[in-house]
Amino acid sequence: MEEEKIKVLSFPSDSPPLSIIAAAKIAGIALPTQTSTSGPLTLSFSNGLELHGNYVILRYIGRVAAIRNFYGDDAFHAAQIDEWLEYAPTLLLGSEFENACSYMDIYMEKRTFFVSHSFSIADIAIWSGLAGAGQRWESLRKSSKYPNLVRWYNSVSAEYSDALNEVTALYVGKKGLGKQVAAKPKEQKSADGNSSDKVNLGSRPSSEIDLPYAELGKVRLRFAPEPSGYLHIGHSKAALLNQYFAQRYQGEVILRFDDTNPTKESNEFVENLIKDVETLGIKYQKITYTSDYFPKLMDMAEKLIKEGKAYVDDTPREQMQKERMDGIESKCRSNSVEENLKLWKEMIAGSERGLQCCLRGKLDMQDPNKSLRDPVYYRCNPVPHHRIGAKYKLYPTYDFACPFVDAEEGITHALRSSEYHDRNAQYYRIQEDMGMRKVHIYEFSRLNMVYTLLSKRKLLWFVQNGKVDGWDDPRFPTVQGIVRRGLKIEALIQFILEQGASKNLNLMEWDKLWTINKKIIDPVCPRHTAVIEERKVLLTLTDGPAEPFVRIIPRHKKYDGAGEKATTFSKRIWIDYADAEYISVNEEVTLMDWGNAIVKEIIKDQDGNITQLVGVLHLQGSVKTTKLKLTWLAETSELVNLSLVEFDYLITKKKLEEGEDFLDALKPCTKKETAAIGDSNIRNLKQGEILQLERKGYFRCDVPFVRPSKPVVLIAIPDGRQQSMLK
């Protein structure tokens, strides 16, 4: 297909695709444009074909342009260009703007162009994103904050000044977006209109995220979950922030399992944590286990005993806790090194005497920070380990193992949630006593969600007591749970990156996350029809088709990629009882995807319940004049049985106060199943496919069609504003 076959580029008037128009201008491609108040970004061709989406069209321009290497000189460089096209809309908007500028400034330090040695559509996409930021970018451009990025930007602006000045002057209004105005002498910038490809991250105040003491190419991070449950939304924040910093500073992330408590851990959790991390798109350099370092940790513990920096204590646990709170030294604190080593060997053997003991660090029992009051380093535990069996009878605590393994693995920065703030001093002190390299701690706030429990112990209670179907239950805040409920990972990533690395405590609303999700799924998910089984009403159209007929129509009127579906038309159709209740005799209604009809008769039983409607088609009627727009299904044997499942929060309180028992806040009814019938095309849905049931909301296919007697299970996806059916 040659560029001269382009018919028109149409786009919403408030969202001009600056990068596409600029690329066409630079490439000398004639690109007629037209604006509208609504409708998707579309490139139409004279033969009737169309392309949709900002970067789909930009790639097309890159391929047909007579500019050398405009879309890369080989497959690898084309893939690199694709990476930058994906990067531009995600991180050049909202709260991530300056973080993206910083990353690109470092990247461009020794480069002339973003990909290889040629000007490409990657440069146009980034240039357009910066230009579209208006005054925000202009103020940074005048500063000396991002010299490499500004050098590149100015070079592009000068080299292609005629085309770029014309485009930005033409497509900018008072608010910097979209309205065509007369060209002005002073250059103005406009936004790039990326909404068709990525969800706008919003315009939160900029909060630049820097990693102290970070050196480009030398940053090494770790995401270190305990394998005692599945990954949940709180862990996701830590995982994604680790990846963010690794990418920004061209470093790496290690996935490490902190497997120091065999009582709570299992291989099932390890396997599913790996699955969840990969679902999030985390690119880890390797997988390690704290248990890999058990021999070295044992050697370090013995070294500290010999140096008088640790001692074995047999004080009962409750008494020990009280003494720590009161700053009272244990009677064992003054034991000799020889006595400590003797008891240490008893602990290693797991003897009756050893089981009474633990190993404690000798720090400072009078320190106001109670975490420094001789913390426990090792405890006895006869339970076999899920990886190494019964080799050990004692295991290191997190407080002891974490600073050691971080230093041993060459971690430069340990990301920890701010709830551990008081233990940072302990972390540094233990590393100092060990004589190991200091690892920098970087704090971020823990992500808390309303009406949600994130404690793995509490979530385990629901699983063990049969209150949910498993760790992937759609009511759970686990990655597998929220994905099963219909959340796209892109939405979760955007939601978390909006929070940044703030140290302020966050109690976030689920509605915000589901709103982002809706913006991602709505433009592309196919539309289908369902009628609630209970009390469904038959509408007989006396002048309807004598024989049923089938028409092929789009599954999504604005997105060809959703494909087509077969819709059956007949004189007998099913509608929802809830719709039938609102209809009056002789009222004209619209049958969606068909046309208008006039209801002539309403038949009721002796209790006043509607049992049947009779009407006539009025296809020449205007859909604009009708009050009711009805979804319907032809009465055929091809209809599919459905089970529509909706879930609610597991607890009744937005936030549990400290000390409050979650068992007192359990919600009694958290799942509702509704029988329905659906159009015949639903039998082709695959597990995990997302769809919209017209006028009923968004759903994810949980159990696809197997046989007519077994219903297709569709899980309702919240959209951020609908009230729950359970309320």
For 196-250, write each residue's pLDDT tens digit: 222 222 323 233 467 888 998 999 999 999 999 999 998 999 999 999 899 888 9
| Maximal CA-CA distance, the chain | 102
- Complete DSSP assignment for 117-182: TS--HHHHHHHHHHHHTTHHHHHHHHSSS-HHHHHHHHHHHHHTHHHHHHHHHHT--TTSSS----
Q: Is 70 exceeded by the pLDDT of residue 180?
A: no
- Tell me what pLDDT residue 92 has: 52
Is the confidence at residue 424, as pLDDT, over 80? yes
- DSSP-assigned beta bridge partners for residue 550: 568
The DSSP call for residue 195 is T
Using DSSP's 3-state secondary structure scheme, residue 331 falls into coil
Strands 33-36 and 6-12, bridge-based pairing: parallel
d(CA 295, CA 288): 15
Question: For residue 38, what pLDDT band results from cuts at 50, 70 and 90?
Answer: low
CA dist., res. 458 & res. 234, Å (int) = 14
Lowest mean pLDDT among 121-130, 162-171, 279-288, 646-655: 162-171
Q: What pLDDT shows up at residue 363?
A: 96
Residue 657 above 50 pLDDT? Answer: yes
Q: Kindly list the strands in the beta sheet with 712-717, ordered across the sheet, starting from the edge strand earlier in the chain.
A: 527-528, 690-693, 697-703, 712-717, 640-647, 671-678, 530-532
Q: Could you tell me what percent of the chain has a pLDDT over 70? A: 91
**pLDDT given at position 193:** 30
Contacts 24+ apart (CB under 8 A), 113-119: 113/152, 114/81, 114/84, 115/72, 115/77, 115/80, 115/81, 115/84, 116/69, 116/72, 116/73, 116/77, 116/80, 118/68, 118/69, 118/70, 118/73, 119/67, 119/69, 119/70, 119/156, 119/159
Per-residue model confidence (pLDDT) at position 8:
86
Residue 521 CB partners (closer than 8 Å, separation 6+): 486, 488, 690, 698, 717
Q: Which residues contact 217 (CB under 8 A, 6 or more apart)?
A: 249, 250, 251
Is the predicted pLDDT of residue 186 greater than 70, yes or no? no
Q: Which residues contact 336 (CB under 8 A, 6 or more apart)?
A: none
User: Strand, coil or helix: what is 9?
Assistant: strand
Give the model's pLDDT for residue 65: 87
Tell me the mean pLDDT in the region 633-652.
96
**204 vs 491, residue with greater confidence:** 491
- The CA-atom distances, in angstroms, between 681 and each of 518, 527, 567, 658, 674 are 23, 10, 8, 51, 20
What's the average model confidence in pLDDT over 32-44? 78
What pLDDT does residue 402 have? 97
Residue 483 has pLDDT above 70, yes or no: yes
Q: What is the mean pLDDT of the chain?
A: 88
What average pLDDT does range 36-53 have in this prediction? 80
Query: What is the DSSP secondary structure assignment for residue 722, as one 8-state letter?
Result: P
pLDDT for 676 equals: 97
Provide the pairing of β-strand 358-361 with 376-380: antiparallel
Q: What is the pLDDT of residue 460?
A: 92
Domains 537-575+577-630 and 640-717 share a fold: yes
**What confidence category does residue 723 fall into, taking pLDDT thresholds of 50, 70 and 90?**
low
Q: How far is CA 249 from the centre of its chain?
A: 22
The single residue listed with the structure tokens 């103020």 is 139
Q: Which of 579, 468, 532, 538 is nearest to 674 (CA)?
A: 532
CA gyration radius, the chain: 32
pLDDT in tens, 62-88: 988 888 888 988 888 899 998 888 888
| Domain parsing of the chain, residue ranges | 6-171, 291-398, 537-575+577-630, 640-717
Residues 325-351: tens digit of each pLDDT:
999 999 999 999 999 999 999 999 999
Instruction: Grade residue 445 by pLDDT with cuts at 50, 70 and 90.
Output: confident
What is the structure's pLDDT at 192?
A: 30
CA 31 to chain centre: 36
pLDDT at 321 over 50: yes
pTM over 0.75? The answer is no
659: CB partners within 8 A, 6+ apart? none
Between CA 388 and CA 102 the distance in angstroms is 45
Burial classification of residue 459, based on how many CB atoms lie within 10 Å of its CB (0-12 exposed, 13-18 middle, 19 or more buried): buried
Please give the full DSSP string across 206-256, using - where no structure is assigned: P-----TT--TT--EEEE---SSS--BHHHHHHHHHHHHHHHHTT-EEEEE
Q: Is the pLDDT of residue 166 over 70?
A: yes
Residue 372, helix vs strand vs coil: helix
For residues 131-138, give the mean pLDDT. 80
- pLDDT at 181 > cutoff 90: no
pLDDT band per the 50, 70, 90 thresholds, residue 137: confident
For 276: left if phi > 0, alpha if psi spans -120 to 50, otherwise beta; the answer is alpha
Lowest mean pLDDT among 354-358, 673-677, 719-723: 719-723
Integer Cα distance of 448 and 451 in angstroms: 9
Lowest mean pLDDT across 123-132, 306-315, 592-601, 666-675:
123-132
What confidence category does residue 28 fall into, taking pLDDT thresholds of 50, 70 and 90?
confident
pLDDT band at 503 (very low <50, low <70, confident <90, very high): low
pLDDT of residue 85: 87
User: CATH fold of 537-575+577-630, please?
Assistant: Ribosomal Protein L25; Chain P (2.40.240)
Q: Do 543 and 617 meet the contact criterion of CB atoms below 8 Å apart? A: yes
**CATH no. of 640-717:** 2.40.240.10
- 291-398, CATH topology level: Glutamyl-tRNA Synthetase; domain 3 (3.90.800)
698: left (phi over 0), alpha (psi -120 to 50) or beta: beta
What is the band of 167 on the pLDDT scale with cuts at 50, 70, 90? confident
Determine the pLDDT at residue 500. 64
Protein fold of 6-171? Glutathione S-transferase Yfyf (Class Pi); Chain A, domain 2 (1.20.1050)
Letter for the amino acid at 398?
Y
Active-site residue set: 226, 446, 456
pLDDT at 616 over 60: yes
Taking residue 24's Cβ as centre, other Cβ atoms within 10 Å add up to: 26
* pLDDT exceeds cutoff 70 at 293: yes
